Amino acid sequence: MCSCTIFALICAQEVAMSNEKKTFYITTPIYYTSGHLHIGNSYTTVAADTMARYKRMCGYDVMMLTGTDEHGQKVERKAQEAGKTPKEFTDEIVADIKNIWEVLGIRYDKFIRTSDDYHVAAVQKIYQELYDKGEIYKSEYEGLYCSPCEAFWTESQLVDGKCPDCGRPVEKAKEESYFFRLSKYQDKLIELLENNPHLLQPEGRAAEMINNFLKTGLRDLCVSRTTIKWGVPLPFDEKHVAYVWIDALSNYLTALGYKSDDDSLMKKYWPADIHLVGKDIVRFHTVIWFAVLMALGIELPKQVYGHGWLQMNGDKVSKSKASGAACIVDPIFLAEHFGRDAVRYFLLREMPFGSDGEYTYEGLMTRINTDLANDLGNLVSRTVAMAHKYFNGTIPAARVADPIDEELLTLTRTAVECAKPHMDAMAFSSALTEIFKLVSRANKYIDETAPWALAKDPANADRLATVMANLFEAIRVVANLLVPFMPDTCAKILSCIGAEVVDWDKCCSEGMLPAEFTVTACEALFPRIDIKKELAAVGLGEDAVPAPKPAKKEKKKKVEEPAPAAEISFEDFMNVELSVAKILECSPVEKSEKLLKLKVSFGNEERQIVSGIAKAYAPADLIGHNVVVVKNLKPAVIFGLESFGMILASGQGDQIKVMFADDSVPGDRIH
């Protein structure tokens, strides 16, 4: 081959490589098929779908994986009770789950079932390899087993003698079993989590894993069962089936064709960019899964993200806690009743992604009324109505600028750079806050420019056209940025103003409306909800008898009635210096469940504050936010750390709510 040909080949290869899209592999947990899903379960998948849509809009070749975790005792029992085979039983649940994803607008690239033949075959090969390598050995297991959770626990892990996850009784189980040499990975796992903060997010979860699980001592893990039939038979001993968690976790690899004849997807997408999971299953993903991957000699995923829980009465959402109105936790009911975009928005806006948040039916409706009906919906509907009223829908090209436009134009131009860091950090709620700043600014701009007053004098026609054009440009950017969250609504808005969806990253500078453009009519996006009426309709109105709260939690949630404070003079009040501060850094305080150590900035001064808010917030929820601080509080030493200032918050324990001041400027005094 001559040198020119080689050169041409190399060039062609380089061109091909530079054209190759960056990949992004995101996984949700695979869902149990022993019962129906509720809005809490849907949370992980709505978040994953939003992230996947965002990455696709940023030009990535995305693989989003979801599916079902079907094997195990619980399904076996339930199927038997229903007079069905486990496969018949799970087929029905799988159809239901797929329907929920459809109704919620979840667009996955692959749906895996652990009962799929290719998965079963690959899990068998994984077990065989681990066995051949000596990572799995035969012994006898005697332990405490929680059958609903399919988990073995040690005595010290039990809470009040019951399963620490679900609170149900555990039973002693003894059987001939195969064990995975998990203990040998203990030090490696600690080192890994300590030295790679990105690996487990949000901040704080790694410390939880290290202190609560890894440092308490890892024992070898029992990874086979003889008492269950509905599972993957071990290739080297068919009396045994695989432990459901090893079976389930392997889906992240087998979905890509690992241990099959075609591993091209594996080559393309592994290592996964994010395993998105709820905080309850971080343990399985970082301890067991990481150790299995190391044993197989496979690169670890780039990140496990353990999000918080959607709670009711301070506990994980479940159907039984729905105050008798099961529909209020049913994702299908909610999506059909309020629209799927409203439900998606609520889930990602209501609570910072890493933290727990309280779900109430009333809270959902309030959020829809304020953010979606009043702010976004109103902005679009009144701007479109004015365009039709003043210009018959076609905004002419003539422009007359005014300094009053500057703030809106700047926000419109910088919206991507304000929201992007939050999207990349999966801080969905903060990203939405940023995007909605543009919505609020645009609404304020309407009040400031008063188009109805301009319209009174034909001499103002060019200025009026400018105001309308600025508003539509802001709406276009908002709609483009909100596509991953509310795809249907944004498609409606963009189509109404005749704009195309463009790359998320570039929408401030690309896809702008032409000088002259026409808008069509737009149906009401989010009709206002009559909250009282809706509450009454599901039996949660004022007359409804409140559901009794669980005794265990009641104790935890009891809040001391504060003694009324004595009156103070205005001068006394003025002596308290309340200032806005930005949180720059935040980390848990070692050996304390309650405390966080924060570095805050008042613009021209930085300080360390120790605050008792760890039960309600993970560090990731706080970094970058502005809070209110009592600035002239005497410094104190808390847990051996200097603390100068106090962050204002209400509530107690895991119900604490910090007073955020994201719209204010760090250093400003509050008066």
Q: Does 41 interact with ligand MSP (rule: CB under 6 A)?
A: yes
- Do 382 and 467 form a contact (C-beta atoms < 8 A)? no
Residue placing its CB nearer to ligand MSP in the complex, 277 or 387: 277
Number of residues that bind ligand MSP (CB under 6 A): 19
- Where does residue 81 rank: exposed (0-12), middle (13-18), buried (19+ CB within 10 A)? exposed
Upper half-sphere CA count for residue 20 (Cβ side, 13 Å): 11
Residues between 305 and 324 with contacts to ligand MSP, criterion CB under 6 A: 309-310, 316-317
- Do 415 and 435 form a contact (C-beta atoms < 8 A)? yes
Binder among 24, 25, 26, 43 for ligand MSP (CB under 6 A) = 43
Q: Of the ranges 29-37, 222-230, 384-392, 545-553, which one interacts with ligand MSP (CB under 6 A)?
A: 29-37
Residue placing its CB nearer to ligand MSP in the complex, 41 or 286: 41
Q: Which residues contact 630 (CB under 8 A, 6 or more apart)?
A: 576, 577, 578, 645, 646, 648
Binder among 24, 25, 31, 131 for ligand MSP (CB under 6 A) = 31
E strands, 543-639, are 578-588, 596-601, 606-611, 626-630, 636-638
Residue placing its CB nearer to ligand MSP in the complex, 64 or 661: 64
- Do 434 and 415 form a contact (C-beta atoms < 8 A)? yes
Q: Does 29 interact with ligand MSP (rule: CB under 6 A)?
A: yes
Residue placing its CB nearer to ligand MSP in the complex, 427 or 454: 427
The label of the residue with tokens 């789950």 reads 97
The secondary element (H helix, E strand) that includes residue 513 is none
Residue placing its CB nearer to ligand MSP in the complex, 279 or 476: 279
Whole-number minimum distance, CB 74 to ligand MSP, in Å? 11
Residue placing its CB nearer to ligand MSP in the complex, 69 or 273: 69
Cis peptide before 271 (omega within 30 of 0): yes
Residue placing its CB nearer to ligand MSP in the complex, 269 or 504: 269
Whole-number minimum distance, CB 33 to ligand MSP, in Å? 9
Whole-number minimum distance, CB 434 to ligand MSP, in Å? 24
Residue (of 568, 565, 611) closest to 592 by Cα position: 611
Whole-number minimum distance, CB 42 to ligand MSP, in Å? 8
- Do 483 and 53 form a contact (C-beta atoms < 8 A)? yes
Residue placing its CB nearer to ligand MSP in the complex, 105 or 357: 357
Residue placing its CB nearer to ligand MSP in the complex, 248 or 482: 248
Binder among 48, 57, 63, 69 for ligand MSP (CB under 6 A) = 69
Q: Of the ranges 38-46, 214-222, 557-565, 644-652, which one interacts with ligand MSP (CB under 6 A)?
A: 38-46
Q: Which residues contact 14 (CB under 8 A, 6 or more apart)?
A: none
Whole-number minimum distance, CB 40 to ligand MSP, in Å? 2
Tokens of 506: 């570039």
Q: Does 44 interact with ligand MSP (rule: CB under 6 A)?
A: yes
3-state secondary structure of 625: coil
Q: Of the ranges 41-49, 201-209, 622-630, 650-658, which one interacts with ligand MSP (CB under 6 A)?
A: 41-49
Whole-number minimum distance, CB 317 to ligand MSP, in Å? 4
- Do 379 and 443 form a contact (C-beta atoms < 8 A)? yes
First to last CA, the chain: 80
Burial 559-578 (b: 16+ CB within 10 A, else e): eeeeeeeeeeeeeeeeeeeb
The secondary element (H helix, E strand) that includes residue 77 is helix 73-81
Q: Of the ranges 36-44, 78-86, 182-190, 219-227, which one interacts with ligand MSP (CB under 6 A)?
A: 36-44
Residues between 235 and 294 with contacts to ligand MSP, criterion CB under 6 A: 248-249, 277-278, 280-281
Bridge partners for 111 per DSSP: 66
Chain position whose Cβ is nearest to ligand MSP: 278
Residue placing its CB nearer to ligand MSP in the complex, 317 or 519: 317
Binder among 26, 30, 209, 332 for ligand MSP (CB under 6 A) = 30
Task: Count how many residues are written for the chain.
Answer: 671
- Do 600 and 583 form a contact (C-beta atoms < 8 A)? yes
Residues lying near ligand MSP in the complex (CB under 6 A): 29-32, 40-41, 43-44, 69, 248-249, 277-278, 280-281, 309-310, 316-317
